[in-house]
């Protein structure tokens, strides 16, 4: 039986991952760790243990790991790419000083650790199309720099101390439940809200700028599948390319337009977001994840669009 601590359990991925983990492993075996200013509410709060924990507080982390006999840590504490550019030192502190704390407590208490990386770990001189698993990683953003460091430090703890660290490089994550905040790929969520509300969508990313994206249910499946994978089959660890769809604003717009013929898009580019997006790959090659732990996506753009529009219409009462 696993005992899991999710750090950042009220964030974009954390809130949904915590609920999914509770379904898999039992409510009482998954502790939702949150920072004081982001208290859980509703089902997340009611369905299982919740504890205040800041990734910067090593003592509290160790206390919780011992109190709940934790054997697996999902470390989701991070600032997203755009917000990190306005607070680079904080982004590093949370991403890397925080990661040291997590890795140390994992080493001392024999925990497995999942700390996600991102398509943001690649940079402008990375091969752009079908980006290979092992390739050039020279990102220009503090987000990317901290993600590459996360990958290296996690591998280091595995090689030097035998800590069971594993990770994926998440594409932009699209969900009908949790809103992202401060990312470059946020437009791909916002566009569905505009469509369902009957508004014209003002797109901050230019036509022709492709990025990899993934529907939240696939992102959750990937996180759990990787941590369940047979370690003997893992050649790579930190971090696996995973992929399910790649599109630019026009492609997603037309997918929505086929279902909502009055929907309109206009472009008003955000220079920072655009520059970051242009420095990221168009699409990732996820063949290592497929070969080493059986990864496959269940949602493509069409299936995701049907589901997003249906679920959001119900939730927004439109
Ligand atoms: C962001 O846009 O910052 C994130 C990511 C792709 O890592 N969604």
Nearest CA to ligand 1 atom 8: 172
Q: Which residue ranges have their beta carbon within 6 Å of ligand 1?
A: 80-81, 118-120, 170, 172-173, 183-185
> How many Cβ atoms sit within 10 Å of the Cβ of residue 28?
12
* Alpha-carbon span 109 to 210, nearest angstrom: 42
Query: Is residue 300 predicted with pLDDT exceeding 70?
Result: yes
Residue spans in the chain of domains classed CATH 3.40.50.720: 4-171+214-241
241 φ, ψ to 5°?
-65, 130
pLDDT at residue 318 in the model: 87
CA 309 vs CA 112, 176, 297, 317: distances in Å: 37, 8, 20, 11
Q: Determine the average pLDDT of the residues in 6-16.
A: 95
Task: Give the active site residues.
Answer: 143
Go through 140-151 and write b for each residue having 16 or more CB atoms within 10 A of its CB, e for each that does not: ebbbbbbbbbbb
Class (C level, CATH) for 4-171+214-241: alpha beta
pLDDT at residue 179 in the model: 85
Nearest CA to ligand 1 atom 5: 172
Residue spans in the chain of domains classed CATH 3.90.25: 172-212+245-283+299-315
Query: Is residue 22 predicted with pLDDT exceeding 80?
Result: yes
| CA 28 to ligand 1 centroid distance, Å | 31
CATH topology of domain 172-212+245-283+299-315: UDP-galactose 4-epimerase; domain 1 (3.90.25)
The overall average pLDDT reported for the chain is 97
Cβ atoms of residues 89 and 97 within 8 Å: no
Query: Is residue 1 predicted with pLDDT exceeding 70?
Result: no
In the beta sheet, which residues pair with residue 168?
240
Residue of 81, 190, 243, 246 to mutate, ligand 1, most atoms within 8 A of C-beta: 81
């Amino acid at each position: 039986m696993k005992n899991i601590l999710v750090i950042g359990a009220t964030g974009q991925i954390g809130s949904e991952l915590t609920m999914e983990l509770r379904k898999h492993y039992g409510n009482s075996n998954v502790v939702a760790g949150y920072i004081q200013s982001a208290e859980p509410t509703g089902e997340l709060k009611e369905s299982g243990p919740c504890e205040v924990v800041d990734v910067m507080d090593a003592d509290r982390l160790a206390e919780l790991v011992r109190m709940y006999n934790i054997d697996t840590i999902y470390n989701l504490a991070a600032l997203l790419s755009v917000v990190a550019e306005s607070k680079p030192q904080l982004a590093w502190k949370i991403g890397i000083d925080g990661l040291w704390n997590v890795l140390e407590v994992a080493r001392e208490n024999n925990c497995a650790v999942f700390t996600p990386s991102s398509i943001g770990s690649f940079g402008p001189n990375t091969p752009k199309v079908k980006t290979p698993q092992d390739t050039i990683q020279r990102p220009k953003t503090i987000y990317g720099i901290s993600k590459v460091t996360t990958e290296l430090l996690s591998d280091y703890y595995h090689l030097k101390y035998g800590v069971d660290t594993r990770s994926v490089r998440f594409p932009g994550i699209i969900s009908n439940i949790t809103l992202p905040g401060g990312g470059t790929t946020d437009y791909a969520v916002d566009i569905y809200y505009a469509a369902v509300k009957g508004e014209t969508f003002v797109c901050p990313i230019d036509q022709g700028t492709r990025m990899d994206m993934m529907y939240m249910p696939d992102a959750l499946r990937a996180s759990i599948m990787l941590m369940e994978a047979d370690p003997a089959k893992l050649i790579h660890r930190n971090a696996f390319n995973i992929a399910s769809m790649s599109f630019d604003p026009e492609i997603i717009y037309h997918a929505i337009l086929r279902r909502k013929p009055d929907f309109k898009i206009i472009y008003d580019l955000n220079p920072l977001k655009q520059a970051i997006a242009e420095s990221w790959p168009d699409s990732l090659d996820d063949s290592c994840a497929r070969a080493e732990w059986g990864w496959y996506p269940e949602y493509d753009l069409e299936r995701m669009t049907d589901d997003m529009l249906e679920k959001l219409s119900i939730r927004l009462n439109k």
